[in-house]
Chains A and B, each alone.
Chain A
């Protein structure tokens, strides 16, 4: 892929020179979906939105199609070969070898070699088409229902139909512009089963490692198409997806069916993590709002913290300590299973997007300006 791009560029440059004396040369830049990520030493210092473990390896993704991995706990990094150069938002590995990364323009990338080489599995156009197809099916179903329904229920059903048709029109309008919407998170159980979630209620499911995808949006109670920001599995097997307007969706059957939980919050929730205990989950979002549940989201308690900074992501270390990270350099640490947190703001005040626990309670943070090594509180090592 990289070589092909070079050839195209050089070819274009050559032709450009030879035609320079004629009229202005018209070479449109290829679409960002077709420009491979440039190999660069700057990737570990540029925006990184997520990081995860692939076995012992650490893999991080970020802007301009950057995917980097490290086999020495984040000391040195190697850049993977990625066929697109748009902002990537999340990465997850179902096994040591098989991983998926998602991002803008609705891309889903797959690696089967632990993050070294990546291939495009899905883009936003295909994702929209899938979503529109299932909307059309829903509309057809609904129209059938309306015909058979008793008169007093028709009005309500027709409202729902209107909503669906309106959503479909919006999707069509978006698709006319291009693959406009990003995926925001990805979760894989193993090398074949997983979900990707994203803007405007996008959620797709695969059973064959991404060879084919099903639009799963109809299975969620999300008629207003709120963004789904994060998805995770908690100990005990429950799946939790959170998003805009405080929406919390839970599945206890491996993702087949989903129920909307009653939410303690109406603002955006950006992340959700399990604490390591069965059915225990913490979700968090705008302005430091964080909530904890011990019953897979049936009831919630507020997690007090002084920070007030938007929280983006979190991780649980082997020793059970929980770290949440957020904007303004916020690093929150809990040693009591998430009941309470101590807040530290990093001096650089840069947004932190994800955290990977390292040995000896140290942390690897990724965010606004790449990779940072810190102690357990988020402070730079001396």
Chain B
């Protein structure tokens, strides 16, 4: 840092003529402001502690998308189709026809029956009376429960059981094809019909673990238990949120150590950590007061807020140490640091906040919540960092060790900065630009493969090797079932949902879809009707057809599963089972359905998309794909505009924004190469990366401009920039990276993806600012003109 006297009156931006109004306001009321902070922190901190985890399903989906509108409109009619858990009880050795296994299965069935939230009437297992075998005889049907009357575990009754199982239609559904496991199927209530209480997914999932998995695997070592279902997945997600506490601890510890290594001053370490934590509490408390909970996305925001707080705090500690090294006392160095930093600091933070707020335009609530939470957090960082931090430091001051460190360290590092200043050298800059252009080309090439949506198998929220996904693949491999279901809702006139023409049209759609790549199978009332018509005709496959006779149709669907006909019989679903949930698969299938629907929807039947997890993903993908470009345009416009307003130069904007653009493109290329799709979790990364990444450029450019205006050559000016703020900027990149790097170990897959990408963006944006910005400045900036202009203004 140069001599403050020397600065006086030279530049409107970094060194205002005298104590600015804000500085006077803040420094003249130090005690009052600190007391205000204390009260605010206590109040909001109290609220922050009471914030609850909340993995609300609706917040993660695009509520305004027509598919979702259709789905929510008919949600009551479809209720039990989606919400169930399947518990596969598998034997390690032999098959299921042993007395031991059957006893364990019976106990598990009973246990599940009494779990809070289970729709007991729909519970199915070998041990429930609704699981039957049926046989056609000369006199009509003959049948019974699969568990034979008088079952006693003897060899005879086990043999009878085996016969019944073979005669039942449940092989492949409740009983695995290889007879080594069976399923306990438990439909769930969203709301308890007696108490009206909403199902507590976290608690339900915990009970499944404790009362079912742990208990019976311990009791009978020969069985293993696999559980899948929406409720279990949400439960695991909520559990995953809890592990975030560990990450928070590790992040704070690592940051603190790094900060101390950087500043060698206890106060300079603890105060930024403390004020950043205060910012997190203020943010969380405010969120709770606004009625938000912590979902798996917004739970990550405190990390960002903390990292942003630290990285800007570093600038202040750095500036104060530099001032203190010149011999100023604590208050004066605090004032000078404030004076030098409040405009670039505020600008950087405001552009962070605006970058986040562009996310509000994406019609998915979790992303909006994320935007609001992050925006709020950054707003709080502005006051904790620029006010609270500075004021606290004005009392404490930088320790002597810290000051010494700045003095010694600075000299030692001068050579390094000297070398790095060559980035702006006329000989080096073109090479840098060439490398950047090559990088850009590679990025653009690889980014062509960038996909929308989730690309991995199983529940995309969780890791491929998570217990849930292992259970899921066990069940998919052993049963005739798919985890990816698209539901087409067929709307008819009231009481007309079983008409011949409706079933015929559904059947036609199903065959169309079954001949579409990516579709495994499908099911609807039409299948039930064909199957039962066959059964009613003595089980002869020659009668496997939809009868034109309505009386026969009505008889055939009398016992159809409840989910297939709603109470007013004006809605019946077609379930389409998909091979995966890749975006292309979804697009192809959805396109076929829309084509069919636009051709054959009429007064009798309209085909509405879409429910089922695949339907929701198809809608989400559409929203995401549509929002991506809009969001990029918005975030870059906002950042560019803010930079322009501050620096009043298009060239300055170009210097700052081009490195960001390169990073964004490389980030997309990395996503394409490492198989991360654009999805709810990764879309915000781009906005966050740009919004935060711009900080480096702003800090570097504001210094660079200042030194240029002092009449230095570009390379000298850049050398001075690096000397004064380069270290802080590098440190900022590392702290921000540390703030998110722990997420990579999150059990929740999308948190890991976000962590990985943000880590890359934070670090690479820093590299861009240090390496590419000066090269661009070599070509774009005209120091003579800048000087002339500055003089003219004066």
Interface residues of A (CB under 8 A from B): 9, 12-13, 16-17, 20, 24-29, 32, 35, 38, 40, 42, 47, 49, 63-64, 86-87, 89-90, 104-105, 174, 177-180, 182, 184, 229, 266-268, 270, 286-287, 310, 312, 327-328, 349, 351, 353, 367-368
Residues of B within 8 A of A28 (CB): 501, 600, 602, 604
- Counting CB contacts under 8 A, is B540 at the interface? yes
Q: Within the assembled complex, what's the spacing in Å between the Cα atoms of A51 and B514? A: 24
- Counting CB contacts under 8 A, is B545 at the interface? yes
Do B603 and A29 touch across chains, with their CB atoms under 8 A apart? Answer: no
Do B136 and A310 touch across chains, with their CB atoms under 8 A apart? Answer: yes
Do B515 and A40 touch across chains, with their CB atoms under 8 A apart? Answer: yes
- Counting CB contacts under 8 A, is B544 at the interface? yes
Do A87 and B166 touch across chains, with their CB atoms under 8 A apart? Answer: no
Which residue of chain A is the closest to B512 with respect to CB atoms?
Answer: A38
Residues of B within 8 A of A87 (CB): 542, 544-545
Interface residues of B (CB under 8 A from A): 135-138, 166-167, 171, 501, 504-505, 508, 511-512, 514-515, 538-545, 547-550, 595, 598-604, 606
What distance in Å separates the Cβ of A354 from its nearest Cβ neighbour in chain B? 10
Q: Within the assembled complex, what's the spacing in Å between the Cα atoms of A349 and B162? A: 13
What distance in Å separates the Cβ of B525 from its nearest Cβ neighbour in chain A? 16
A367-B540 contact given A28-B501, A177-B548, A310-B136, CB 8 Å threshold: no
Q: Within the assembled complex, what's the spacing in Å between the Cα atoms of A42 and B521? A: 11
Do A16 and B599 touch across chains, with their CB atoms under 8 A apart? Answer: yes
Do A35 and B136 touch across chains, with their CB atoms under 8 A apart? Answer: no
A105-B602 contact given A13-B595, A40-B515, A351-B541, CB 8 Å threshold: no
A29-B137 contact given A12-B599, A184-B542, A310-B539, CB 8 Å threshold: no
Q: Within the assembled complex, what's the spacing in Å between the Cα atoms of A367 and B540? A: 11
CB contact between B542 and one of A105, A182, A267 (< 8 Å): that residue: A182
Residues of B within 8 A of A40 (CB): 515
Do A24 and B601 touch across chains, with their CB atoms under 8 A apart? Answer: yes
Do A268 and B538 touch across chains, with their CB atoms under 8 A apart? Answer: yes
CB contact between B501 and one of A25, A29, A327, A353 (< 8 Å): that residue: A29
What distance in Å separates the Cβ of A316 from its nearest Cβ neighbour in chain B? 22
What distance in Å separates the Cβ of A59 from its nearest Cβ neighbour in chain B? 17
9 further contact pairs, Cβ within 8 A, besides A16-B598, A310-B136, A353-B542: A13-B595, A16-B599, A38-B512, A286-B538, A287-B135, A312-B540, A312-B541, A349-B166, A351-B539
Residues of A within 8 A of B137 (CB): 286-287
What distance in Å separates the Cβ of B476 from its nearest Cβ neighbour in chain A? 19
Which residue of chain B is the closest to A20 with respect to CB atoms?
Answer: B598
Q: Within the assembled complex, what's the spacing in Å between the Cα atoms of A28 and B602? A: 7
Do B602 and A13 touch across chains, with their CB atoms under 8 A apart? Answer: no
> By CB atoms of chain A within 10 A, which of B167, B504, B540, B544 has the most?
B540
Do A13 and B599 touch across chains, with their CB atoms under 8 A apart? Answer: yes
Do A310 and B599 touch across chains, with their CB atoms under 8 A apart? Answer: no
Do A49 and B542 touch across chains, with their CB atoms under 8 A apart? Answer: yes
Residues of B within 8 A of A184 (CB): 542
What distance in Å separates the Cβ of A180 from its nearest Cβ neighbour in chain B? 5
Do A13 and B540 touch across chains, with their CB atoms under 8 A apart? Answer: no
Residues of A within 8 A of B543 (CB): 182
Which residue of chain A is the closest to B601 with respect to CB atoms?
Answer: A24
Do B545 and A27 touch across chains, with their CB atoms under 8 A apart? Answer: no
What distance in Å separates the Cβ of B508 from its nearest Cβ neighbour in chain A? 6
Top 6 nearest A-B pairs by Cβ distance? A267-B138, A26-B602, A87-B545, A16-B598, A89-B542, A178-B548
A42-B514 contact given A87-B545, A182-B542, CB 8 Å threshold: yes
Which residue of chain A is the closest to B596 with respect to CB atoms?
Answer: A13
Residues of A within 8 A of B508 (CB): 29, 35
Do B138 and A286 touch across chains, with their CB atoms under 8 A apart? Answer: yes
Residues of A within 8 A of B136 (CB): 286-287, 310
